[in-house]
Amino acid sequence: MLLSEILNGIDCSDGLSLGEKPGFDCEITTITCDSRQAGKGSLFVCIRGGNVDGHTFAAAALEKGAACIVTERKLGLEREITVSDTHDFYGRAASAFFGHPARALKLAGVTGTKGKTTVTNLMKRILTDAGNMVGLIGTIQNEIGEKAIHAENTTPEAMELESLYAQMRDAGCGYCVMEVSSHALEQQRIGDSWYQTAVFTNLSHEHLDYHGDMESYFAAKKKLFARCDSAVIGIDDPHGRTLLEQLPGIAGREIPVLTFSAEKEADLWAKDIVCHPESVQFVLVYKGKDYPVDFAMPGLFSVRNALAAAGACLQLGLGIEQIVRSLGQVTGVKGRIEIIPTGRDFTVITDYAHAPDPLENVLSSLKETVRGRLVCLFGCGGDRDRTKRPLMAAAAAKYADFVIVTSDNPRTEDPQAIIDEILPGLEGFDTPHVTIVNRKEAIYYAIANAQPGDTIVLAGKGHEDYQIIGHEKLHFDEREVVAEALAEMKAR
92-126 tens-digit pLDDT: 999 999 999 999 999 999 999 889 999 999 999 99
pLDDT at residue 365, rounded to an integer: 85
pLDDT at residue 400, rounded to an integer: 97
Question: 3-class SS at 395?
Answer: helix
Q: Contact 460/376 with Cβ under 8 angstroms?
A: no
CA-to-CA distance for 346 and 464, rounded, in angstroms?
Answer: 23
What are residue 336's phi and psi, to 5 degrees?
-115, 100
Q: Contact 456/347 with Cβ under 8 angstroms?
A: yes
CA-to-CA distance for 319 and 25, rounded, in angstroms?
Answer: 50
Domains and CATH numbers, the chain: 3-97 (3.40.1390.10), 101-327 (3.40.1190.10), 338-491 (3.90.190.20)
Q: Contact 201/304 with Cβ under 8 angstroms?
A: yes
pLDDT higher than 90, residue 20? no
pLDDT at residue 184, rounded to an integer: 87
pLDDT higher than 90, residue 52? no
CA-to-CA distance for 78 and 59, rounded, in angstroms?
Answer: 9
Q: How far is CA 406 from CA 219, 251, 389, 403, in A?
A: 33, 44, 12, 10
For 157-207, the pLDDT digits (tens) are: 899 999 999 999 999 999 999 999 988 898 888 888 999 999 999 998 665
Q: For the chain, give the number of residues.
A: 492
> What whole-number percentage of the chain has pLDDT above 90?
78
Least confident range from 193-207, 416-430, 437-451: namely 193-207
pLDDT at residue 207, rounded to an integer: 59
**Residue ranges of E strands in 238-395:** 257-261, 268-275, 280-286, 289-295, 338-340, 347-351, 374-378
Mean pLDDT of 397-413: 97
For 324-377, the pLDDT digits (tens) are: 999 999 988 888 889 898 999 999 999 999 889 889 989 998 898 888 999 999
CA-to-CA distance for 32 and 157, rounded, in angstroms?
Answer: 10
For 222-234, the pLDDT digits (tens) are: 999 999 999 999 9
Mean pLDDT of 413-435: 97
Which has more pLDDT, 207 or 378? 378
What are residue 305's phi and psi, to 5 degrees?
-65, -40
pLDDT at residue 284, rounded to an integer: 98
Neighbours of 302 (CB within 10 A): 28
Which has more pLDDT, 11 or 361? 361
Q: Contact 152/466 with Cβ under 8 angstroms?
A: no
For 132-150, the pLDDT digits (tens) are: 999 999 988 999 999 999 8
CA-to-CA distance for 267 and 285, rounded, in angstroms?
Answer: 8
Confidence of residue 276 (pLDDT cuts 50, 70, 90): confident
Mean pLDDT of 233-242: 97
pLDDT higher than 80, residue 244? yes
pLDDT higher than 70, residue 84? yes
Mean pLDDT of 250-264: 97
First to last CA, the chain: 65
Q: Contact 312/123 with Cβ under 8 angstroms?
A: yes
On average, the pLDDT of the chain sits at: 93
pLDDT at residue 380, rounded to an integer: 96
